[in-house]
Amino acid sequence: MNMMRTFLLIAALTALFGVVGLAIGGEQGMIIALGFALMMNLFAYWNSDKMVLAIYRARPITKKESPELFVLIEKLAHNAEIPIPKAYIIDNDQPNAFATGRNPEHGAVAVTTGLLNSLNEREIAGVLAHELAHIRNRDTLTMTVTATIAGAISMLANFAMFFGGNRERNMGPIAILLMAILAPLAAMLVQMAISRTREYAADKDGAEISGDPMGLASALAKISKKAELIDNIAAENNPATAHMFIINPLHLRSMDNLFATHPNTENRISKLQLFAKEINSGKNNSKSPWG
């Protein structure tokens, strides 16, 4: 259901791009904008892992340096049926983690020192399983596709602001202004909805990978509480990367609304609790808490 919802949201974003492209830039403007956005995001797709790891000054850790963490990652990767990802650590007191890599063969998981110092092994396993689910589900590719289309819509909006839009459509200045403002906003809302959908999917799949939904639920509660109190300066300086983390690292209210990049933490925990009851009962409830 989550994957179907993601496809429908991407389809809606694509349709929005087509409508906006024809209205503002015409067919030629639409193709040019998509081309530029595609090139930019292809570069980001191939280099985003290096870029984001550099932003957070993540350093690779070896099996000799942290054998327990490596054994845990290896076990969870085996459960997820993906190659063992590279492991990185970020010197930051805020407990958090993210996954990156353009595909499972180039996956990487980064955790903060705050996370390792704040959580127990069961909770760390839940977080790592969540991040491995992102890698297995190729969420980096999904977000690259959505970023490409959203970026193209923003370019068309800029095109309209500077060049007056598509004259063949006889759009007045007020209509052009409204389209230029509302189109990127609508694209951003759809992009955020896709991000929230992928987080719910990673929670569910991560709980299955670890076999312990309550371990992940406990981790989310702890991380969310401490993330509100501890700064992540690198994330504050690079808010565009905030959606990658398991919990929003920015000091904003994490509400389950149109403008949130992450689902509400209480909602995520509630779904995990229902999933744990479903597993413990040994029943495959067709009414999944994830919809």
pLDDT one-digit tens code per residue, 156-170 = 777 666 655 555 555
Pick the catalytic residue: 131, 208, 266, 278?
Answer: 131
Contacts of range 36-39, beta carbons closer than 8 Å, 24 or more positions apart: 36/151, 36/152, 36/155, 37/147, 37/148, 37/149, 37/151, 37/152, 37/155, 38/148, 38/152
In this predicted model, which residue has the larger pLDDT, 40 or 253?
A: 40
- Would you list the domain boundaries of the chain? 2-281
Q: Of the given ranges (28-42, 131-145, 209-223, 256-270), which has the lowest mean pLDDT?
A: 28-42
pLDDT for 155: 73
Q: Of the given ranges (68-72, 221-225, 237-241), which has the lowest mean pLDDT?
A: 237-241
Q: Of the given ranges (130-134, 139-143, 256-260), which has the lowest mean pLDDT?
A: 256-260
pLDDT for 223: 97
pLDDT for 62: 85
In this predicted model, which residue has the larger pLDDT, 16 or 67?
A: 67
pLDDT of residue 200 exceeding 50: yes
In the block, residue with structure tokens 């500077």: 162
Ranges of beta strands (E only) in the chain are: 59-60, 86-90, 97-100, 108-112
Show the tokens assigned to 43.
């570069």
- Asked if 99 contacts 109 with a C-beta cutoff of 8 angstroms, the reply is yes
In this predicted model, which residue has the larger pLDDT, 103 or 37?
A: 103
Sheet with 59-60: list strands edge to edge. Answer: 59-60, 86-90, 108-112, 97-100
Verify whether residue 228 is a known catalytic residue: no
In this predicted model, which residue has the larger pLDDT, 213 or 252?
A: 213
pLDDT for 283: 58
pLDDT for 240: 77
Show the tokens assigned to 24.
């503002």
Q: Of the given ranges (10-19, 23-32, 74-83, 258-267), which has the lowest mean pLDDT?
A: 23-32
Q: What integer best gives the mean pLDDT of the chain? A: 83
pLDDT for 288: 53
Give mean pLDDT, residues 207-222. Answer: 96
State phi, psi for 91 to the nearest 5 degrees: -80, 90
For the full predicted model, state whether its pTM sits above 0.85: no
- Asked if 166 contacts 10 with a C-beta cutoff of 8 angstroms, the reply is no
In this structure, how many other beta carbons lie within 10 angstroms of the beta carbon of residue 178?
12
